[in-house]
Amino acid sequence: NELGMIDSNGEYMRHPLAYLVEAADDICYTLIDFEDGINLGWISEEYALEFLIRLVKDSIDTKKYNSLKHKTDRVAYLRALSVNTLINDTVKIFLKNEEKILNGEFTKTLLSESVFKAQMEDIIDISVKKVYNSKEVIEKELKGYQVIHKLLSVFIKAAVNNQSDNTTALDDLVLASLPKTYIHKEGDLYNQLLDISCFVASLTDGNALEWYNKIS
């Protein structure tokens, strides 16, 4: 109620800001992942202009683009122009549908109404094939799952044993290392498990790997 969200039969409609945050997230991650794929050599640079030309044709400075000596600079230039184009298009879509959005009647994403929808879909398709499914990315994801599984297994075991006064020496060391705000000897087990999950979710990749190395 404080946020002015619309209650529709017990379900709150999306806050208008959610549409903008969602669009910003999709724009940034789609284009940056595409850029990374090109810079890493997984996607040919020729795809940069081929896929982004419609996004940048009205704003590109051809002389400036051709003067850039390095691939990373050329791709970054195209990406920056493309982000700006998509932001402006998103603003137009939001304003065009503002009344529906404010009334909770807009059920799509903003980018689904974009004139550049086809270009975004093409970029996503090639990124899935060349980047997300690359051997290097898959190996990192496998390692990530292994790290998360290990952390949750060790932390949850220690927390559960702590509540039942049945901790091992390893459990005691783990509990002593974890922030006290996440450990509850008394109280509901569900909330204890939730807090452990929140702690793991709050870790950066580097911190998670550091914890993994400590307890392995």
Task: Specify whether the CB–CB gap between 86 and 32 falls below 8 A.
Answer: no
Beta strands 7-8; 11-12: pairing state: antiparallel
Looking at residue 187, its pLDDT comes to: 82
> How far apart, in whole angstroms, are the C-alpha atoms of residue 132 and residue 135?
9
Looking at residue 11, its pLDDT comes to: 67
Task: Specify whether the CB–CB gap between 158 and 175 falls below 8 A.
Answer: yes
Query: What domains can be seen in the chain, in order of their start residue?
Result: 7-133 (1.10.3410.10), 136-215 (no CATH)
Looking at residue 8, its pLDDT comes to: 64
> How far apart, in whole angstroms, are the C-alpha atoms of residue 152 and residue 150?
6
Looking at residue 4, its pLDDT comes to: 64
3-state secondary structure of 12: strand
Looking at residue 35, its pLDDT comes to: 97
DSSP conformation letters of 44-111: -THHHHHHHHHHHTTT--HHHHHH--SHHHHHHHHHHHHHHHHHHHHHHHHHHTHHHHHTT---S-GG
Nearest to residue 159, comparing CAs of 169, 176, 171, 168? Answer: 171
Looking at residue 28, its pLDDT comes to: 96
pTM here is: 0.75
pLDDT tens series, the chain, 216 aa: 666 666 666 666 788 899 999 999 999 999 999 999 999 999 999 999 899 999 999 999 999 999 999 999 999 999 999 999 999 999 999 999 999 998 888 989 999 999 999 999 999 999 999 999 999 989 999 999 999 999 999 999 999 999 999 999 999 999 999 999 999 888 889 999 999 999 999 999 999 999 999 998
Task: Specify whether the CB–CB gap between 122 and 183 falls below 8 A.
Answer: no
